[in-house]
């Protein structure tokens, strides 16, 4: 009976080694098993977007973070500096209600979840209104081309995303870390949009 030489067998093995093979299963089969075992979780966005308090918290963080980063990178006064300046120039009778509330101590004690949610909703509305006002009236910001600033901001946000994702591995259900994660992802997406916009359309 004839047989291959060692070299001929090696050649056949080499052919076998390099032979492209299709996966044995389809992804949906694997995914179904993984879902059964709880290895696949709901989309993070879906998981949290259904919770109004989380939406509100994320929106607040997004706005606060965006404003703070924007002011810092554009060389505008920070919130503390603004408050200090305001304290020296404004009288208590001329200050709007919102400004008075922001001066309240940070160690709020809420009596109920509803009360805290209401406060968050109110804060969201106020920040949205303030942002719109700034966007419409702050000429110095609109006239500056800030592509480099936005790019730097995006890079910084990437680092924050990585940090919060690492933290989520340790505490995947921690609401505070999830808030930061969501807010950062939102700010990252918004920054990407700003970078992609024509210069004339860039605003705060």
Work out whether the CA dihedral 100, 104, 106, 108 comes out positive or negative: negative
- Contact region for other proteins (CB under 8 A) — 29-37, 63-71, 83-91, 186-194? 29-37
Cβ 162 to other proteins shortest distance, Å: 7
Cβ 65 to other proteins shortest distance, Å: 20
Q: Does 189 bind other proteins (CB under 8 A)?
A: no
Six token digits for residue 75: 């060389």
Q: What is the CA radius of gyration of the chain?
A: 27
Angle at 131 between CA 128 and CA 137, to 5 degrees: 140
Q: Does 92 bind other proteins (CB under 8 A)?
A: no
Which of 44, 119, 160, 195 binds other proteins (CB under 8 A)? It is 44
Residues 6+ apart with CB under 8 A from 202: 142, 145, 146, 147, 150, 194
Task: Give the residue with the Cβ less far from other proteins, 162 or 193.
Answer: 162
Residues 6+ apart with CB under 8 A from 78: 68, 71, 72
DSSP helix/strand/coil, 69: helix
Residues 93-152 close enough to bind other proteins by CB under 8 A: none
Contact 60, 102 (CB under 8 A): no
Q: Does 68 bind other proteins (CB under 8 A)?
A: no
Which of 81, 128, 162, 193 binds other proteins (CB under 8 A)? It is 162
Which of 103, 114, 165, 174 binds other proteins (CB under 8 A)? It is 165
Task: Give the residue with the Cβ less far from other proteins, 4 or 176.
Answer: 4
Cβ 21 to other proteins shortest distance, Å: 5
Please provide the distance, in angstroms rounded to a whole number, between the alpha carbons at the two ends of the chain. Answer: 83
Question: What is the rounded distance in angstroms from the CA atom of residue 131 to the CA atom of residue 67?
Answer: 8
- Contact region for other proteins (CB under 8 A) — 68-76, 104-112, 159-167, 184-192? 159-167
Six token digits for residue 104: 């309240």
Q: Does 168 bind other proteins (CB under 8 A)?
A: yes
Judged by the rule CB under 8 A, the positions of this chain that interact with other proteins are 1-6, 8-13, 15-17, 19-25, 27, 29-31, 33-34, 37-41, 43-44, 162, 165-166, 168-169, 172
């Amino acid at each position: 009976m004839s047989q291959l030489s060692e070299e001929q067998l090696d050649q056949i093995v080499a052919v076998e080694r390099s032979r492209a093979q299709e996966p044995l299963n389809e992804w949906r089969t694997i995914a179904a098993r993984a879902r059964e075992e709880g290895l696949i979780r709901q989309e993070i966005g879906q998981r949290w977007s259904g919770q109004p308090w989380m939406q509100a918290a994320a929106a607040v963080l997004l706005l606060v973070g965006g404003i703070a980063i924007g002011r810092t990178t554009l060389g505008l006064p920070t919130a503390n500096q603004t408050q200090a300046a305001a304290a020296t120039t404004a009288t208590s009778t001329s200050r709007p209600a919102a400004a008075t509330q922001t001066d309240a101590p940070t160690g709020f004690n809420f009596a109920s979840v509803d009360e805290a949610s209401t406060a968050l909703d109110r804060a969201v509305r106020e920040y949205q209104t303030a942002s719109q006002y700034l966007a419409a009236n702050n000429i110095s910001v609109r006239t500056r081309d800030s592509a480099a600033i936005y790019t730097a901001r995006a890079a910084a946000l990437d680092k924050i995303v990585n940090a919060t994702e690492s933290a989520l591995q340790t505490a995947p259900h921690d609401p505070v870390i999830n808030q930061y994660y969501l807010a950062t992802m939102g700010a990252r997406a918004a920054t990407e949009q700003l970078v992609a916009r024509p210069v004339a359309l860039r605003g705060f």
